[in-house]
Amino acid sequence: MIAKLDIIIVNWNSGNFVSECIESISCAIIQNFKLNRLVVVDNGSSDDSLSKIKPNNLPLIVIKNEQNFGFGKACNQGAIGSEADYLLMLNPDTRLNENSLWGPIKFMEKKDNKNIGVIGIQIYNDKNEISRNCARFPTPLKMIYRSIGLDKLFPQIFQSHFMTEWDHKNSRIVDQVMGSFFMIRRKLFNDLNGFDERFFVYYEDLDLALRARKKSYFNYYLADASIYHKGGGVTENIKSKRMFINLQSKILFARKHFNFRTFIIVYFVILMLEPIARILGAVFRGSFSTIVQISKAYKELYKSNIFNKNYNIPDK
């Protein structure tokens, strides 16, 4: 039986990116699988990105939200009613190649790979370089030493979050693949109740990958297929807001996956020691604009973290 795929793209003020991404999908459709649905979930965009989308004879569905509900919740919306074998969460600032879809589907369809739950592929950046973006699952110790910058000061001793020491030219099992191309078995996605919507953006894909691993499914990086990814996306111009959301998601991840005593230690490090480490790093680099961004991000973080209901006992 031919494999079926649903593609879900979350759009938020992505300009020309989303229409160019959809155009590239047409070039990656071959007869070996069926594209059941291409779902674009718009998170309250204020630009004209939606008006630029052309169906290109694809089974396009557009869902319009009145506000930005975050990446995870939008993906869950797009997955509702899916009858496909696989779901692909695809960033709007990506461009697919001819082998971008069939390569990972073909791999997942092999009988020997039934324990592979999530698959990602090789990603090229603006410089035509392979992005080294597969990541490791955080532990309390790793999260602490990365928060105070020890992985940057002593990279030979302390591992970074991303597997930058590996050239990403070969395929292998990894902890986490890049969320810009995140293909998952639809049944597994449903069994895990999709993305945890408490993560507005950042860490939601890491959380899902870890929950899949706890269900005895592996995450796999396939180097035999590739896409282009601009990176940074539409948030690259609002650094303090991006930093704030990233920190908030990191705290939520720690609360969800670490025991309470360990979480308290990690929480203290993130709130009290990490800003000092970030500011010292900015001073050393002579980047005083970064200090302003750090100050804005942590001011927002302190205001939002006193009684954050997301830090109660996790339910997923």
Q: Given this model, what pLDDT does residue 305 score? A: 72
Q: What is the DSSP letter of 14?
A: -
Q: Is there a contact between 18 and 11 (Cβ–Cβ < 8 Å)?
A: yes
Nearest to 136 by CA among 83, 175, 181, 178: 175
Q: How far apart are CA 291 and CA 281, in angstroms?
A: 9
- Given a contact cutoff of 8 angstroms between Cβ atoms, the answer to whether 179 and 219 are in contact is no
User: DSSP readout, 148-189?
Assistant: TTHHHH-TTTS--SB-TTS---S-EEESB--TTEEEEEHHHH
**Closest-CA residue to 5 (of 48, 38, 45, 36):** 36
| pLDDT score recorded for residue 308 | 64
218: number of Cβ within 10 Å: 16
Exposure of 266 by Cβ count < 10 A (0-12 exposed, 13-18 middle, 19+ buried)?
Answer: buried
Question: What is the C-alpha separation between 2 and 166, in angstroms, rounded?
Answer: 35
CB 240 within 8 A of CB 98: no
- Measuring CA to CA, how many Å separate 264 from each of 151, 173, 207, 251, 269? 22, 32, 19, 10, 9
Taken in order 264, 199, 187, 5, the sign of the CA dihedral is: negative
Contact 189, 86 (CB under 8 A): no
pLDDT of residue 157: 95
Cα–Cα distance between 198 and 311 in angstroms, integer?
10
Phi-psi region of 306 (alpha: psi -120 to 50; beta: other; left: phi over 0): alpha
**Could you say which of 3.40.50.720, 3.90.1170.50, 3.90.550.10, 3.40.50.2300 is the CATH number of the domain covering 3-133+168-233?**
3.90.550.10
- Rounded CA-CA distance 150/109 in Å is 41
How far apart are alpha carbons 221 and 4 in whole angstroms?
21
**Domain map (residue ranges) of the chain:** 3-133+168-233, 239-311
The structure's pTM equals: 0.93
pLDDT along the chain (316 residues), means of 10: 96 94 91 95 95 91 96 98 98 95 97 98 94 96 97 95 96 96 98 97 97 98 96 61 94 96 96 97 93 94 73 57
Q: What are the C-alpha distances in Å from 29 to residues 32, 106, 149?
A: 9, 13, 44
Structure tokens at 175: 């902890």
Q: What angle do CA 275, 279, 281 make, to 5 degrees?
A: 120
